[in-house]
Amino acid sequence: MNRRILDLKDELGTTLFERLPRGVRLTSAGELFVDYVRRTITELDAVDSHIEHLRGLVRGEVRIAAAESLAGDFLPRAIAKFNAEHPGVHFHIAVSGPEDMLAALARDEADLIIGHDLPRHPSVSILRSVPHPFCAVVARDHPLARRRSLKLRDCLAYPFAMADRSLAGRALIERALANASFCFEPALESNSIDAMKTYTRLSQAVCFQFRTGAMRDI
């Protein structure tokens, strides 16, 4: 390995690593070279996939980074339907927040990301965007349960669970509150949708979820 790195240094005419007291780190040239290698490997995988399509043998792995609300029901249903026709394709789903999803895509650790209200990123292209309701979720016997629509002010009389800042729902709530004359003090703050829904189900609390993440509970 060391000999090959030295050969690369000679071929490229520049240093790829700099030695530190405890290990090494990439130089700027090394980072460019690693990005090139990652892109090349991704392109080779894509070519291999296209060749398999030509042979009629659809196979391979698809790495998806997704919001928790989509990973619980929506994605497994879509994958099960796809695998019924293409059993040779394997999927890997990693649940994370918007920033981590974008970082995974940029580092070529994910082929596709699916989330809510994703921040814009110069190296990311949006393939499809779909409007999706953001809802207040309460227990069946909650005083607000029969209301067809709610304003955030209507929820002030009750404890509530709020997503932490790693999840897209938190940013939506904060944007809505930016010009409000009141603020929210959550009784529970979490990056787990299940934790927030369970707390809401066992109390008179309100939580806020994208409809996809709450469909199994409705």
Element (H, E) at 54: helix 28-55
- Contacts of residues 146-154 at CB distance under 8 Å and 24 or more positions apart, as own/partner, are 152/176, 152/177, 152/180, 152/184, 153/180, 153/182
The overall average pLDDT reported for the chain is: 85
pLDDT category, 79, cuts 50, 70, 90? very high
pLDDT in tens, 84-114: 988 888 999 999 888 889 888 888 889 899 9
**CB neighbours of residue 203 within 10 Å:** 17
What pLDDT score does 39 carry?
82
Strand 134-137 to 59-66 pairing: unpaired
- Angstrom CA distances, 6 to 10, 34, 128, 162, stand at 6, 15, 45, 53
Q: What are phi and psi of 17, to 5 degrees?
A: -130, 150
- Angstrom CA distances, 38 to 2, 31, 198, stand at 20, 11, 41
Q: How far is the C-alpha of 102 from the C-alpha of 110, rounded, in Å? A: 9
Return the structure tokens found at 195. Answer: 């934790």
pLDDT category, 181, cuts 50, 70, 90? confident
pLDDT category, 56, cuts 50, 70, 90? low
**CB neighbours of residue 190 within 10 Å:** 17
pLDDT in tens, 58-69: 778 889 999 988
Q: How far is the C-alpha of 72 from the C-alpha of 79, rounded, in Å? A: 12
CB-based contact 167:97 (threshold 8 Å): yes
Q: Which residues contact 90 (CB under 8 A, 6 or more apart)?
A: 60, 61, 62
pLDDT (average), residues 111-128: 85
Residue type, 191: N
| pTM value surpassing 0.85 | no
**CB neighbours of residue 163 within 10 Å:** 24
